[in-house]
Amino acid sequence: MARSVVLPVAPSRGRLRPLGLDEVRITGGFWARRREINATATLGHCRDWMARVGWIGNFRAAVEGRIERDRRGREFADSDVYKLLEAMAWEAAGHGADSALDTQIAELTESIAPAQEPDGYLNTAFGRPGQQPRYSDLEWGHELYCYGHLIQAGVAQARARGEGELTKIARRAADHVCATFGPGGIEGVCGHPEIEPALVELARLTGEQRYLDQAALFVDRRGHRTLADTEFGRAYYQDDLPVRQATVLRGHAVRALYLAAGAVDVAVETGDDALLAAVVRQWEATVARRTYLTGGMGSHHRDESFGDDFVLPPDRAYSETCAGVASVMLSWRLLLATGEPRFADLAERTLFNVVAASPSEDGRAFFYANTLHRRRRGTVPATDVDSPRAESSLRAPWFAVSCCPTNVARTLAQLPAYLATVDDDGVQLHQYADAEIATSLAGGHDVALRVRTDYPAGGAVTVRIDRSPDRPWTLSLRVPGWARGAAAWLVEPDGTRRSVPVGTATVARRFRPGDEVRLELPVAPRWIGADPRIDAVRGTVAVQRGPLVYCAESVDLPDGHEADAVRVDPSSPPEDGPDAEGTVIVAGELTGHAEQSDAPWPYAPLDRPATTPPDTDGPAEIVLVPYRSWANRGPSTMRVWLPTAEPDPPAAPS
Amino acid sequence: MARSVVLPVAPSRGRLRPLGLDEVRITGGFWARRREINATATLGHCRDWMARVGWIGNFRAAVEGRIERDRRGREFADSDVYKLLEAMAWEAAGHGADSALDTQIAELTESIAPAQEPDGYLNTAFGRPGQQPRYSDLEWGHELYCYGHLIQAGVAQARARGEGELTKIARRAADHVCATFGPGGIEGVCGHPEIEPALVELARLTGEQRYLDQAALFVDRRGHRTLADTEFGRAYYQDDLPVRQATVLRGHAVRALYLAAGAVDVAVETGDDALLAAVVRQWEATVARRTYLTGGMGSHHRDESFGDDFVLPPDRAYSETCAGVASVMLSWRLLLATGEPRFADLAERTLFNVVAASPSEDGRAFFYANTLHRRRRGTVPATDVDSPRAESSLRAPWFAVSCCPTNVARTLAQLPAYLATVDDDGVQLHQYADAEIATSLAGGHDVALRVRTDYPAGGAVTVRIDRSPDRPWTLSLRVPGWARGAAAWLVEPDGTRRSVPVGTATVARRFRPGDEVRLELPVAPRWIGADPRIDAVRGTVAVQRGPLVYCAESVDLPDGHEADAVRVDPSSPPEDGPDAEGTVIVAGELTGHAEQSDAPWPYAPLDRPATTPPDTDGPAEIVLVPYRSWANRGPSTMRVWLPTAEPDPPAAPS
């Protein structure tokens, strides 16, 4: 079996070798359902909206000379058309060669193609009469950013179907970028990183060194203050410090993460271990100090940026969906480069609690920001108008800045590629879902596995070997970091059962078809506390069950209580709910807290509190639901971090 | 003695009658020092900066036909020139008639005057060749907002010196506004309220009903969605709900507060009790649920807006200086209308902890946002470039959006007017400072008082009667709400000493010159807790001493500890420091908290915390300083809300 080419990320070296979408199929369970909705609802939803709001029409308007008057959407609107094309291409990889998706891709490509200038330039927001000149606004113009998404779409088409018109458009654009921004050209970078990983991937696809060189040049150029200092500062677009010198991700979260992903790609292709180590160091500091329990990154609404260390307010969490997507992109690249399971841990957390939280259950509405605490019931948004981006009450069908829906779509379309890898020793499973995997090991020996699990509802994962070379090899299974402290068990084909620590569990043997390996992960719900330096959650606890973060949502509380009424008792362990819906029950009480009357001034001496303690309805069992599923049952209030019963106030000073 | 006209706010009716800047002099103490710095440093600093950054030059550029090319600053830059003029006019009121300030006012006015169009229109950002047309962008254009500040400056000149050229410019602009936006004209409002209180004050100055009618029309028009829905929503500029229907202040804090101030002015002049009651209701809800301990309002950085109820994160407090100024404006109007001391309470809190926190000790640098928790030492900003507005490390000399410095300047210039009022029964003292007050009571009888106090350092306030009519009258003294629970004492001229509750203490008698009334306020430091619905400060306490909010600042901590190292023990009462600097000492400990090493992931099961408890240096006495004085001694970290020693973790679940 030849090495697959249907790969979102195809490094030429690194610790692990990724598997293609023709090698891994997700056959059931949560992600299969989500992928089905993505294919049947979300892709069409995005296309219809972009037709309706005019973003697709921008290309024709450009060709017809009426773009100054008729252009719709923000300066980066082109990029969402490209992201949709990328999503369609990866999705098409799982379908027959002449699927309806291919027709849609061809139609969209036909809309775009005539707008490309003879020199390869392609952008509907710049350069035509009445518009700003090309590259006159590298800070905000997003021209290179748009190319990045165009190139990723072109690569997706080439890998899913073979090079087609979209790939050609992308290559012409990339050639234009190299000619314009290469040595002797404009010595600038784009305000929004994204071109970097795209150019590396195009180099991997085509074998053209110049694309890699250009990506490396962009990575090296950044941090040398070629972009203007704006209200948000140069850290906003990571132009404050060279990538090699930075110690933590900072500024706009999506920009920071796309740049880091591109830097890993450059480091891997050029063998630049120092650059790779710099990104790993930044990832470590960011995960330790600037990441929400959900895996969400970026707490600032104002500039969509990371905050200072430990500034992680739940009620003002921004945690942009696209930052979740970008974080998965980065973690995946670091996993391939290093083989370390901590990167797959974060990817799992982020996929389940950020990426999966964004779309509604029907795949036609989305969260842009993913708050961890909602105090006020929202209103049902109109389904026929786009929404402001950061309003976090209910999911909205579309946004004026609508980067998230297509980003979720392309991630779900390529998701099977994130499940497993191979190396010279064997097969590694990183994410667990019902799946079938067929690939080849070193020496060209075919191997096929079938994974069966209801994870994350249950913790048992069974891997059946369907085909195996007649020699020993190693099956590796990730034991998530959250399983620390509770025994994970591995059951080998011969019945050996052993406790395994977090990290990687391995079974090395001469497998035979029909052999089964079983991993048992302790998914029982558990109380989680935070580092006390995260001031915003002092005095609260959260619940996690397996990789899933839970929340209290008002629709599950009796008597019209809001989520802020919940007080929990962490001396009782959380328990699984009696239903099959994945609920968790915790002990606590419901107070009149949210509804209590106000003192005129909410601050008072400790010995005479401003408000009397709220009434309580007495001990209660409180139902929690997975965070990602909240806000699917109408307007509600919600919180992830739950206050413990308030302690007695300290003795009043005499 | 005739009624003074040197009044920032001169309602024609209301419970209390304000006193003019020629009736009240602040003679010593904190505010006298701040006013001296304002007069001798800040006014010149603002003028020099606006000359340098070109905002003053915009007017000449407009006249000379080169504004399209040469205009500098944001669309509202004109308004800061007007606010400076207003500040200069009020400051001039305390000086001789031909002060240097008068020369500066005349020079600035000469710069402005030629830019006014024959029809009264005056704005350097709109309407000339190459600029957007007049009133083509009511959402963001700030044209009416700029008139508001122009009119307030013109009124200040008239009241301080008699009507002059600036007043004439303002009247022509107001006439233009009435002609353009009156009945039959443009049915719109300005995205930024401010014209409303200005027009009412001009009506009070001139007796012209049409200005009042126009202000009332603007107030009534707002909330009817004549402004476009933007990313921030119509609540941003209070166009979501009519003023009469709203129950709380919302949206952009400065806009909300200026509008509310204008609505009070309209309500008072038109006898519209329902409108007044609506604003009082909004003030009550805002104070009870949306105000920081400092009096600061507006927690969102993104849109400079109020957040949802109880969303008051200390480390992401925006608490814009201008919102503090606007809050004082609103409270002052409500105090005059109702006579209720709660409005003076909030004004005091806000003046000491927001308005006074903004300027540096030398009056040449300012905070735009006033955070309550700074985790990272800032860097010393350059003194010769303007700064982004919301960076809260150290004060900056100027901002690209530089509304705050001139707003502080005009507030300090008019501050004496906020100290006292009269009514038919006598004199009311609202704010305490060394001061001399000379006015007349009903019937034209002269009264003169001398106030001596080192408040807020000390709690004793002595009021000596220097002149009194030979009939009984009432001296009223505000007993601040923070004095609740500790006895305030009033000592009457005859030696009677009685405990007085918070609110208003009165002495009614036939005063004789030389009589003294003494008020003793319990300014000793005390622990303050917050309503538990303010999630962001759970498990922390603050210290207040008199009206002053305190903070821990790293420069006062030993061994290089950061403010986040502080843990306090609220079972010991805070005590005054041994020095004369107003420090407070609290018991607690300094932990290695801020410096401790990281766990790879900062969340963990309760029974195995992610990080080991930080080392502690053992019990310590921790020095706190008044919040308003922080960041005057170089880069530092700071926090107002101090964690109590962490409780034992809850028993781990079995």
Nearest to B604 by CA among A261, A101, A184, A530: A530
Counting one residue from chain A and one from chain B, the pairs whose CB atoms sit within 8 A come to 230
How much of chain A, in percent, has pLDDT values that exceed 90?
85
What does each C-alpha distance from B105 to A80, A134, B314 come to in angstroms?
54, 46, 40
Q: Pick from B291, B311, B600: which is nearest to A287 by CB?
A: B600
Q: Are A541 and B606 a contacting pair at CB < 8 A?
A: yes
The shortest CB-CB distance from A609 to any of B529, B571, B646 is to B529
Kindly report the nearest CA distance between residue B560 and chain A, in angstroms: 18
Is B485 in contact with A605 (Cβ distance < 8 A)? yes
- Judging contacts by C-beta atoms under 8 Å, the chain A residues touching residue B231 are 388-389, 400
Predicted confidence (pLDDT) per residue in B19-56, tens digit: 999 999 999 999 999 999 999 999 999 999 999 999 99
Look at residue A96 and tell me whether its pLDDT is greater than 60: yes
Residues B311, A526: C-beta atoms closer than 8 Å: no
Q: Tell me the C-alpha distance between A517 and A423, whole Å.
A: 19
Hey, which of A377-391, B417-431, B472-486 has the most confident mean pLDDT? B417-431
Mutate to test the interface with A, among B309, B316, B526, B638 (most CBs of A within 10 A): B316
* Contact residues for B326 (Cβ-Cβ < 8 A; gap 6+): B253, B254, B257, B258, B261
Distance CA A482, CA A484 (A): 5
Q: Answer yes or no: are the C-beta atoms of A50 and A69 closer than 8 Å.
A: no
- On chain B, the residues whose CB falls within 8 A of the CB of A342 are 600
- B288/A599 CB distance under 8 A: yes
CA distances from A464 to A419, A447, B623 (A): 16, 11, 66
Which residues, 6 or more positions from A183, have their beta carbon under 8 angstroms from its beta carbon? A217
Pairing verdict, β A434-441 and A24-28: antiparallel
Distance CA A467, CA B246 (A): 70
Q: Do A643 and B310 touch (CB under 8 A)?
A: no
Q: Does position A300 have pLDDT exceeding 50, yes or no?
A: yes
Using the beta-carbon criterion (under 8 Å), do A528 and B611 form an inter-chain contact?
no
Q: What percentage of chain A has pLDDT greater than the value 70?
A: 95
Residue B447's DSSP bridge partners are B439
Q: Hey, are the CB atoms on B603 and A388 less than 8 Å from each other?
A: no
Domains belonging to chain B, first-starting first, are 17-373+381-418 (1.50.10.10), 423-520 (2.60.40), 525-643 (no CATH)
Which chain A residue is nearest to residue B587, measuring alpha carbons? A653
B651 and A571 within 8 Å at the Cβ level: the answer is yes
Evaluate whether B511 touches B467 at the Cβ level (below 8 Å): no
Residue type, B302: R
Contact state of B604 with A289 under an 8 Å Cβ cutoff: no
Q: What are phi and psi of A411, to 5 degrees?
A: -70, -45
Residue A256 burial (CB < 10 Å; 0-12/13-18/19+)? buried
Overall average pLDDT of the B183-198 stretch: 97
Secondary structure of A244-276 in HEC code, one letter for each residue: CCCCCCCCEHHHHHHHHHHHHHHHHHHCCHHHH
Q: Is the predicted pLDDT of residue A651 greater than 70, yes or no?
A: no
Task: Determine the Cα–Cα distance for residues A47 and A255; give it in Å rounded to an integer.
Answer: 25
Q: Are strands B616-626 and B434-441 parallel, antiparallel or unpaired?
A: unpaired
Residues with Cβ within 8 Å of residue B294, at least 6 apart in sequence = B319, B349, B350, B353, B354, B357, B370, B372, B549, B627, B640
Q: Would the pLDDT of B650 be above 80? A: no
Q: Calculate how close chain B gets to A149, using CA atoms only, in Å.
A: 25
| Better-scored residue on pLDDT, B77 or B579 | B77
Which site among B308, B315, B568 would you substitute to test the A interface, given the most A Cβ atoms closer than 10 Å to its Cβ?
B315
Q: How far apart are alpha carbons A113 and A44 in whole angstroms? A: 21
Contacts of A389 in chain B (CB under 8 A): 231
Q: Band of the pLDDT at B609, cuts 50, 70, 90?
A: confident
Name chain B contacts of A570, Cβ cutoff 8 Å. 606, 650, 653
Q: Which two tokens stand for residue B193?
A: 């309220």
Question: Over 90: is that where the pLDDT of B389 sits?
Answer: no
Joined tokens for residue A141: 């113009």
φ, ψ (nearest 5 deg) of residue B378:
-80, -175
* A609 interaction partners in chain B (CB closer than 8 Å): 529, 531
A159 CA: distance to closest CA in chain B (Å): 36
Mean residue pLDDT of chain B comes to 93
Question: Which two three-digit tokens encode residue A609?
Answer: 């509190």
| Set of chain B residues whose Cβ sits within 8 Å of the Cβ of A540 | 535, 538
Contacts of A251 in chain B (CB under 8 A): none
Range of weakest confidence among A225-229, A235-239, A382-386, A555-559: A382-386
Q: Of the candidates B388, B571, B598, which has its C-beta nearest A231's C-beta?
A: B388
Contacts of residue A609, Cβ cutoff 8 Å, sequence gap at least 6: A649, B529, B531
Q: How confident is the model at residue A392 (pLDDT cuts 50, 70, 90)?
A: low
Say how far apart CA A274 and CA A267 lie, in whole Å.
8
Helices (H), B271-320: 273-289
pLDDT classification of A486: cutoffs 50, 70, 90: low
Side chain identity at residue B485, one-letter code: G
Model pLDDT, residue A482: 92
Q: Which residue of B has its CA nearest to A586?
A: B653
State the smallest CA–CA distance between residue A284 and chain B in angstroms.
7
Write out pLDDT tens, residues A584-619.
999 999 987 656 678 899 999 998 777 676 777 788
Q: Which residues of A touch B301 (CB under 8 A)?
A: 300-302
Angstroms from B640 CA to nearest CA on chain A: 13
CB contact under 8 A, A308 and B538: no
Q: Cβ contact (<8 Å) for B526 and A605?
A: yes
CB contact under 8 A, B598 and A289: yes
**Range B434-462 average pLDDT:** 95
Kindly determine whether residue B302 and residue A301, on different chains, have CB atoms separated by under 8 Å. Answer: yes
**For residue A572, is pLDDT > 60?**
yes
Q: In angstroms, how far apart are the furthest CA atoms of chain A?
A: 83
pLDDT value of position A581: 79
| Closest Cα in chain B, distance from residue A98 (Å) | 41
| pLDDT tens digit sequence for B237-285 | 999 999 999 999 999 999 999 999 999 999 999 999 999 999 999 999 9
DSSP character for B579? Answer: S
d(CA A585, CA A573): 9
Question: For residue range A6-23, what is the model confidence (pLDDT) as tens digits?
Answer: 999 999 999 999 999 999
* Cβ distance of A541 and B400 shorter than 8 Å: no
Task: State the best of B294, B310, B606, B616 to mutate against chain A, taking most chain A CBs within 10 Å.
Answer: B606
Q: Would you list the DSSP string of B197-258? A: HHHHHHHHHH--HHHHHHHHHHHHHTTS--SPP-TT-GGGGT-SS-TTT--S--SBHHHHHH
Q: What is the pLDDT of residue A391?
A: 62
What's the mean pLDDT when you consider all of chain A? 93
Per-residue confidence (pLDDT) for residue A594, from 0 to 100: 58
- Chain A residues with CB under 8 Å of B570 CB are 606, 650, 653
Q: Which of A287, A605, A643 sits opposite B528 (nearest CB)?
A: A605
d(CA B137, CA B227): 9
pLDDT, average across residues A486-503: 85
Q: Is the pLDDT of residue A649 over 50?
A: no
Residue of chain B nearest A486, judged by CA positions:
B605
Q: Does residue B531 register a pLDDT over 60?
A: yes
List the single residue in B with minimal CA-CA distance to A346. Answer: B601
DSSP state of B305: B
Could you read off the pLDDT of A219-271 as tens digits, one per residue?
Answer: 999 999 999 998 899 999 999 999 999 999 999 999 999 999 999 999 999 99
- Token pair, residue A423, equals 């190396």
Q: Looking at this predicted complex, what is its ipTM?
A: 0.93
Sign of the CA dihedral with A25 first, then A31, A36, and A39 last: negative
C-alpha distance across the termini of chain B, in Å: 81
Note whether B311 contacts A315, CB cutoff 8 Å: yes
Asked if the model's pLDDT at residue B651 lies above 70, the reply is no
- Which pLDDT belongs to residue B652? 40
- Could you tell me the strand order of the sheet in which A420-423 lies? A17-18, A420-423, A426-429, A473-479, A503-509
B535, B544, B545, best to mutate vs chain A, most A CBs in 10 Å: B535
- Report CB contact under 8 Å: A608, B644: no
Q: How far is B390 from chain A (nearest CA, A)?
A: 9
Phi, psi of A422, deg, nearest 5: -130, 160
| pLDDT of A412 higher than 70 | yes
Say how many CA atoms lie within 13 Å of B62 toward its Cβ.
24
